[in-house]
Structure formats: C-alpha cells, structure tokens
Amino acid sequence: MKLKLLDLIRNRKELLILTLSITLCLIAINNPILKIQKSVTSYMFLVDVSQSMNAEDLTYNKKSISRIEYTKLLLKNIIDTAECGSFFSINIFAADNVASIIEPVEKCKNYDELIDTIQKLEWRMAWKGNSRITFGIKSAAKMQDSLNFPSKILFFTDGDEAPKVNAINKVNLDSFNLGNELIFIGIGGEKDVPVPRYNSRNTLIGFWGMDIYDSLPGATGERSSDTGKDEPDPSVASAEYDRYLSKLYEGYLLELSSQIKAQYIKGDISNTFVKTILRNKPQKKIKSELSLERPSVFIILLLIIFLYTENYLMIFLKKFMRKFNT
C-alpha cells in the first residue's frame, strides 16, 4: 500500500505541485493574518535627570563621578550583557512626569543609537527643577500602557525629592498595580554631599543653597522652567554651611517599594548587579501579527525551482555519492 502511494506521488508530482502552488497563491492573495502571542525580554530605562543627580559621591576607576554619569555606565553594562533579541527603551524623569527618548527597540539592530542616546543624558533635559518620584512612577505606568509593549521598568534615581514628601503632599499609591514590573535602582552614596549648580551653558558656578525650594524652577508649580532666565549668574550657596546636601535616600525607596510591591536594588558596577537585573524579565506577553503573504510566495518559488531542476539535482547527487563512495 505504501509503495503504491509513493508511486502515485512520483507519477503525479507535477499535479501535486500545481495544486499546492494554486493553494498558496490563494493564501497570498487573501493575505490572512495570524494573531500570535510571544514572550519578549524588554526593559524600560527611566533615568532621573534632576539636578541632585549631578552630585559627585560615587567612584569609578578610582575617580569621583556624578550619579548621572554612574547611571550611564550601568545602562551601558546592562545593554552590553543582554542577549540579541532583547528590547530597550530610554526615558527620563523630571519634576512630576516622564518623557520618552527612544521607544522599545531591539538591542543589536539599534546598539549605536541606544549607546549614543545614553551618553547624551544630562540635567538640562529636565523641563522643571523639582522632583516628585511618586508622580513619576504613575506617569511611567501610563506610558507603558499606551505603548502596549510590556517591559520591566528600571527607575534609576537617588530618591531625593524636592520638595520633600510630607503628610500634605504625599500621593496615594493604593491604585498603583504595576509594582511587580518596577525596580527602583538606587544611585548615590550614603553620606550627605553638596549638589553642584550649573548655568544653562553647563558651567559649574557653585553649589545649591538651602533656599533650593525657592530657587528650583517649577518647584512650587509657579515659576518658569526657562533655563535662559538663570543667566548670567544663578544664586548659589554663600558658604559651606549654606549648601543643600543630598544623598541616596535608600530608606525612602525601600518604603516605596514595599508600598507598591516593587523591588529595590542598589546600583553597582558589577557582573552580579547586571545578572540580577537581567534575571528580572517581564512577566507578560505581547500580541503580534504574522502575515502569510511572503511565506506563501517564497514556498511557491521553491516549488517552481524544484520542478524545473529536479533532474539536474538528481544527476548531481548521484555523481556526488559515487565520488563519496569511491
């Protein structure tokens, strides 16, 4: 029975190929779409670019560097270690909102663009000078929902808010439901250090004073955020005792993490840190569409090539086998 079936296929292969080709042509013309779900590894970088991130209380290669520069090194290490096929987006946080710089892109195809964007991150990207982290994570959640691209949110921040959180301005986070997709990455040292103040040309002119809440553009929601109004000489601390001091507010970030069921990890330039981050993959799948038009056309072409080159292929294979056997 099997032999008869094989003989039938050999004798009528042209008819079978023609039938299959017509079927595939009909598929290509109608272009049906298959809706599939697939797991992706995607990370949403959210970088605090408020001015406290300019404080220099971290070291790299035995040199003191700012929190924002240390963050850039961490971002690059994560991207360099991640596998091809991983997706990354780059976003910044300032005041009470977030802004997208690069939407989710595949690492290997867009490596240069990702690294170049990371290198350009700085405090002048901020549209206001104040910093409200709780508002920031709510905005990040809304952004992720609008993109429909599930990602693990990695929020790089020192936790230094201006104005400081109190009973009056504290935000209710009971409705926040993306805690399992959020990791706070703590950036900064444990000791208080002064925060450098720069003018709009990025020239260091001193340190922020204790009147920081009156000086920050947008700190009360009433001042302009136009950096040009800082010129020529923004106010700075008059003496060391008058300097505003900042540090990594690890306790506050741990409290937030506990409140919304998120994670907290202290940023560290080490293989252990990167591996810990990359183990925390998104827990959702994305919906994608697969068109059958191109695969159908490709198979038709293969069938046509096979039909007209079968004899030549058989002759070639026989000659090859003879040489191989001898």
> Hunting for tokens 């003989």 — which residue is that?
7
How is residue 324 written in tokens?
Answer: 């191989």
Q: Are residues 301 and 213 in the same domain?
A: no
Q: Are residues 116 and 25 in the same domain?
A: no
Q: Are residues 27 and 120 in the same domain?
A: no
- Residue range(s) defining the domain that contains residue 26: 2-32+292-325
8 A C-beta contact, residue 52 and residue 67: yes
Q: Are residues 22 and 158 in the same domain?
A: no
Q: What percent of the chain has pLDDT over 70?
A: 66
Could you read off the pLDDT tens digit of each residue along the chain, which spans 326 residues? 544 544 544 556 666 666 766 776 666 676 666 666 667 789 999 999 999 999 999 999 999 999 999 999 999 999 999 999 899 999 999 988 999 999 999 999 999 999 999 999 999 998 887 788 988 888 888 888 777 778 899 999 999 987 676 655 667 777 777 778 899 999 999 999 999 999 888 899 999 988 765 555 433 333 334 444 455 667 898 898 999 999 999 999 999 999 999 999 999 999 999 999 998 876 556 655 556 666 666 676 666 666 666 666 666 666 666 666 66
Report how far residue 305's alpha carbon sits from residue 193's, in angstroms, rounded to the nearest whole number.
Answer: 72
**What pTM was estimated for this model as a whole?**
0.74
Q: Are residues 315 and 210 in the same domain?
A: no
Q: Are residues 206 and 167 in the same domain?
A: yes
Q: Which residues contact residue 115 at a Cβ distance below 8 angstroms, ignoring those fewer than 6 apart?
A: 76, 79
Q: Are residues 123 and 234 in the same domain?
A: yes
Q: Are residues 28 and 45 in the same domain?
A: no
8 A C-beta contact, residue 188 and residue 248: yes
Count of other CB atoms within 10 angstroms of residue 271: 10
Residue 200: predicted pLDDT: 84
Q: Are residues 102 and 15 in the same domain?
A: no
Count of other CB atoms within 10 angstroms of residue 106: 15
Angle ∠(66,70,74) on CA atoms, nearest 5: 165
Report how far residue 194's alpha carbon sits from residue 284's, in angstroms, rounded to the nearest whole number.
Answer: 42
Q: Are residues 19 and 98 in the same domain?
A: no
* CA distances from residue 141 to 38, 120, 154, 259 in whole angstroms, order as listed: 21, 24, 12, 16
Output the CA torsion sign for 95, 49, 145, 264: negative
CATH code of the domain covering residue 161: 3.40.50.410
> CA end-to-end span of the chain, whole Å?
36
